[in-house]
Chains A and B, each alone.
Chain A
Amino acid sequence: MKSGVVVFPGSNRERDMLRALETITGTKPVTIWHADTELPDLDLVVLCGGFSYGDYLRTGAIAARGRIMPAIAKAADKGVRVLGICNGFQILCEAGLLPGVLMRNAGLKFVCKEVKLEVANADTDFTRKYRQGEVWRCPVAHGDGNYFTDAETLKRLEGEGRVGLRYAEGTNPNGSLNDIAGILNERGNVFGMMPHPENMIEPLNGATDGRALFESVLEAVA
């Protein structure tokens, strides 16, 4: 699988993501610079975690208008898988590639801890290696992860199986609507989530539950 990680000024989990992708896919991913205007030929584009442009405006708002973004939107249109983690999820929402917005955590504090995620839809390119309803361990580390959208959109997301992951067992760390942790676009090839599966891939991390997410994409593009 050919994958690439987009680096914006202020991205800071690109190294974690590059290592996870290389470990799991067996192929070295490429790094994509935010100021480029074209993407190489890829099966998966990842927008990684961090504080792009310091998150001094709304989180992800400036990066969403970055020079690389039209190319990512075009790739998404063509069906290329796009994964946004944490700040990447925020950027995808700001760019309009995913609906809704990520507000300040309900507790008003940055929170770094392990949560439980329930697979709300195992029939997606990003979750197919999990079982439907499976609960897995994954860390979060964010200050703005409180997913919100209007009632109409929420109804559609739920009705169309586009809520891929939900915080489970009372571990919602940020007040997200319907415990939403990750959502898909209409076509199912763009996925955004706040937790960090790339930090849950080897025994050192305490569990390897995050691997299946990347293995799902690997299988989907095979």
Chain B
Amino acid sequence: MIPNDVRITPELVAEHGLKPDEYQRILDLIGREPTLTELGIFSAMWNEHCSYKSSKKWLRTLPTKGPRVICGPGENAGVVDIGDGQAIIFKMESHNHPSYIEPHEGAATGVGGILRDVFTMGARPVAALNALRFGEPDHPRTRHIVSGVVAGIGGYGNSFGVPTIGGEVNFDPSYNGNCLVNAFAAGLADADKIFYSEAKGVGLPIVYLGSKTGRDGIHGATMASAEFGENSEEKRPTVQIGDPFSEKLLLEACLELMASGAVIAIQDMGAAGLTCSAVEMGAKGDLGVELDLDKVPCREEGMTAYEMMLSESQERMLMVLDPAREKDAEAIFVKWGLDFAVIGRTTDDLRFRVRRHGDVMADLPIKELGDQAPEYDRPFVKAAKPKPLAPADAPAPNDLGEVLTKMLALPDMCSRRWIWEQYDHLIQGNTAIGPGGDAAVIRVENGPKGLAFSLDVTPRYCAADPVEGGKQAVAECWRNLTAVGAEPLAITDNLNFGNPEKPDIMGQFVGCIEGIGEACRALDFPVVSGNVSLYNETNGKGILPTPAIGGVGLLPDYTRRATVAFKAEGEAIVVIGETKGHLGQSIYLRDIAGRRDDASAPPPVDLALERRNGDFVREEIRAGNLTAVHDVSDGGILVAAAEMAMAGGIGASLKPQTDLPLHCWAFAEDQARYLATLPEADAGALLARAAQAGVPAARLGTTGGRELTVNGGVPISLTGMKAAHEGWLPAYMAAGAEL
């Protein structure tokens, strides 16, 4: 072990994000002062992002098992059986902070990272989605961030060749200084050919694959360059640069190599790069790992062990190979023009040993690096349960049509076409429902199966009542998958919160987890992968709690799917589920009545009802009885009807059977509801079947014309609604270009 040429001062420890007691833990663990490289390794392994030290205790409470779950949380992504020997592999991950600093590259590398998580396990990516949260439209940085994030996501996914088929977008002042970019990816693999990160066998070659290592993305960028040693260049920015071209080559090379049978274990280099991937592979397999950093392909000269261990250069993989197949493996990588280097071996001594220029720069116990990471049971306070809004407390509008048209053009409600037309959503030729529907659907190569995907959370509900908000996020995702005819299988969760050291923020986290867990159990919708992003704060103000849920559903036959658009004139419109007039935390109350600070309760989620109504709708879709289906969510039933009308270019006449004030009926956000259409002649039978199943269902109206009318009132023009709905985002973004 070489002696330290840098003194490990309390300041240096703090700059590595380690608390004094955490540093003491390191000293106790290794019985001596760590080297600078070792300090860097600990900081990489023990930070919140890699260790989940604040969240672990609560994540353990989530249901992660189910009859279809092949692999739950803990690997690169979750794996779920979809029958016929096939599996869907998926995960969602945040790239929030990098995207705020450098929107284009931050978002691009977020997509790159999640795609790698999926193909590391042997899957060919077949779908990408993204959940984006931006600051308020008037904030000076918002336009710049929207534009950069969308171009970054598109630029990466389009070049890589995965269809980006859906997602969600919100604008809120709480994201002014901290946008959220949550990227989701899913891939298909044979269920018996899944690759894991657990290394097996002593003395086997550890192979480095992909792009070269540079100084980009080095953790601990706050450190002054002088403290690194004389050869170190100035610190580069912490945001990595994405190269989708290399990633595409890496995908093809990895899949080819996996098919050859040479791969024993594989792990992508994501957060904390070489450190995290090598430690995880060794620790999972109860093996030591020895790395010779002189063998690592580098993009620049004179990199130190510290820099190499902490670099987050993109498009890199680590593999343990069958030594007999080393030559074949190398040939595949040379063919694809990628670096291939044996940089180490597995050992039997459970040490993580790193050499540079022949010197041992780090020698640490490998199991403890991961397993002994600090874990916190942080104090939390749960907010008091909010009271429901009194029905009389929500003012009625003068003109229903005017309000509806205005609602359809709100930043949170308008068409996202401007965004998704920048994403290639058609590549691979399997897109059955692209962006803009309740859930996106792809055909599983050659059919007849289909897969549905939806990302959902309503942050304002979570802020008002974390438990109900957590439940609602899962329920809405489940409902969206159901609304296209899919059987919801499992979820990945991307939990974005503020500073967990604040008890009220920790309370939001704990509450949301409680709600998510309850909904997942009730709906048999296990969590198979996920990511936690904490410290989403600027100037001491946290974001709205945003636990984004990414759900996957299965359609036995993709041709039996439902879409939002009205299909024909003169069809019956029915509503499934009950409308009780709940306006608390609704879009209407917040954006039309201007009650942004209202603290009333969000709509309650009745999970048994959710399940009963949803199961009924799914059966009806699969039986081919419904011509269009749309879930009722943000904005309520009238917005849902308007969206169906705009999508189909066909109007409707609505005659609600309700005792509620008209605006309560129109804009309430009661849960577990769907709108559906079917031929007039079949409507009676459908309502009878619903009654039999104990599902509330009622006739709402009839499709037809070019206008929407409610109770024979003033017709609301479809053209006007569409212009408002489609117009806001392009106009907003174009206004920025003129500045």
Residues of A in contact with B (beta carbons under 8 Å apart): 9-10, 12-13, 15-16, 19-20, 49-51, 53-56, 109-113, 139, 141, 143, 196, 198-199, 201, 204-205
A199 and B158 in contact (CB under 8 A), knowing A9-B249, A10-B248, A204-B558? no
Residue of A nearest to B733 (CB): A109
How many contacting A-B pairs (Cβ < 8 A)?
79
25 pairs of residues in contact across A and B, judged by CB atoms under 8 Å: A9-B336, A12-B160, A12-B427, A13-B161, A15-B429, A20-B429, A51-B245, A53-B245, A109-B151, A109-B422, A110-B151, A110-B422, A112-B421, A112-B423, A112-B424, A112-B425, A139-B426, A141-B427, A196-B426, A199-B426, A201-B429, A204-B430, A204-B432, A205-B426, A205-B429
What is the bound-complex CA distance between A19 and B430, given in angstroms? 11
Interface string of B220-257 (1 = CB under 8 A from A): 00000000000000000000000111101100000000
* Number of chain B interface residues as a range: 20 to 34
Residue of A nearest to B558 (CB): A204
B159 adjacent to A55 (CB under 8 Å): yes
Partner of B429 from the list A16, A110, A112 (CB cut-off 8 Å) is: A16
B426 adjacent to A12 (CB under 8 Å): no
Residues of B in contact with A (beta carbons under 8 Å apart): 151, 154-155, 158-161, 243-246, 248-249, 336-337, 420-432, 443, 558
B428 adjacent to A16 (CB under 8 Å): yes
A54 contacts which chain B residues (CB < 8 A)?
A: 159, 243-246
What is the bound-complex CA distance between A109 and B420, given in angstroms? 11
Residue of A nearest to B251 (CB): A12
What is the bound-complex CA distance between A211 and B292, given in angstroms? 55
Partner of A51 from the list B151, B158, B428 (CB cut-off 8 Å) is: B158
A51 and B421 in contact (CB under 8 A), knowing A9-B336, A12-B248? no
Shortest Cβ distance from residue B139 to the other chain A in the assembled complex, whole angstroms: 22
What is the bound-complex CA distance between A51 and B420, given in angstroms? 19
Partner of A204 from the list B243, B244, B337, B443 (CB cut-off 8 Å) is: B443
B245 adjacent to A10 (CB under 8 Å): yes
B421 adjacent to A12 (CB under 8 Å): no
What is the bound-complex CA distance between A109 and B737, given in angstroms? 13
B244 contacts which chain A residues (CB < 8 A)?
A: 51, 54
Partner of A9 from the list B154, B245, B429 (CB cut-off 8 Å) is: B245
A112 adjacent to B422 (CB under 8 Å): yes
What is the bound-complex CA distance between A16 and B126, given in angstroms? 13
What is the bound-complex CA distance between A16 and B248, given in angstroms? 16
- Secondary structure class of chain A's binding surface, majority of residues: mixed
Partner of B421 from the list A15, A53, A113 (CB cut-off 8 Å) is: A113
Shortest Cβ distance from residue B334 to the other chain A in the assembled complex, whole angstroms: 11
A20 contacts which chain B residues (CB < 8 A)?
A: 429
Rank and list the top 9 A-B pairs by shortest CB-CB distance, nearest first. A12-B161, A54-B245, A51-B159, A16-B429, A141-B424, A112-B424, A199-B426, A10-B245, A110-B422
Shortest Cβ distance from residue A115 to the other chain B in the assembled complex, whole angstroms: 11
B245 adjacent to A112 (CB under 8 Å): no
B431 contacts which chain A residues (CB < 8 A)?
A: 204
What is the bound-complex CA distance between A95 and B423, given in angstroms? 28
A19 contacts which chain B residues (CB < 8 A)?
A: 429
B246 contacts which chain A residues (CB < 8 A)?
A: 54
A113 contacts which chain B residues (CB < 8 A)?
A: 421
Shortest Cβ distance from residue A48 to the other chain B in the assembled complex, whole angstroms: 11
B423 adjacent to A12 (CB under 8 Å): no
Q: A111-B421, A112-B158 are in contact. List 8 more A-B contacts (CB 8 A).
A: A12-B427, A19-B429, A56-B245, A109-B422, A110-B158, A112-B423, A112-B426, A199-B427
A198 adjacent to B429 (CB under 8 Å): yes
Shortest Cβ distance from residue B119 to the other chain A in the assembled complex, whole angstroms: 14
B443 contacts which chain A residues (CB < 8 A)?
A: 204
What is the bound-complex CA distance between A50 and B245, given in angstroms? 10
Shortest Cβ distance from residue A195 to the other chain B in the assembled complex, whole angstroms: 11
Q: Which of B154, B243, B427, B428 gathers most chain A CB within 10 Å? A: B427
What is the bound-complex CA distance between A53 and B246, given in angstroms? 9
Shortest Cβ distance from residue A181 to the other chain B in the assembled complex, whole angstroms: 17
What is the bound-complex CA distance between A143 and B244, given in angstroms? 15
What is the bound-complex CA distance between A110 and B155, given in angstroms? 8
What is the bound-complex CA distance between A13 and B159, given in angstroms? 10
What is the bound-complex CA distance between A9 and B247, given in angstroms? 11
B421 contacts which chain A residues (CB < 8 A)?
A: 111-113
A50 adjacent to B161 (CB under 8 Å): yes
What is the bound-complex CA distance between A34 and B429, given in angstroms? 23
What is the bound-complex CA distance between A93 and B553, given in angstroms? 43
Shortest Cβ distance from residue A105 to the other chain B in the assembled complex, whole angstroms: 11
What is the bound-complex CA distance between A13 and B421, given in angstroms? 18
B336 contacts which chain A residues (CB < 8 A)?
A: 9
A50 contacts which chain B residues (CB < 8 A)?
A: 161
A49 contacts which chain B residues (CB < 8 A)?
A: 427
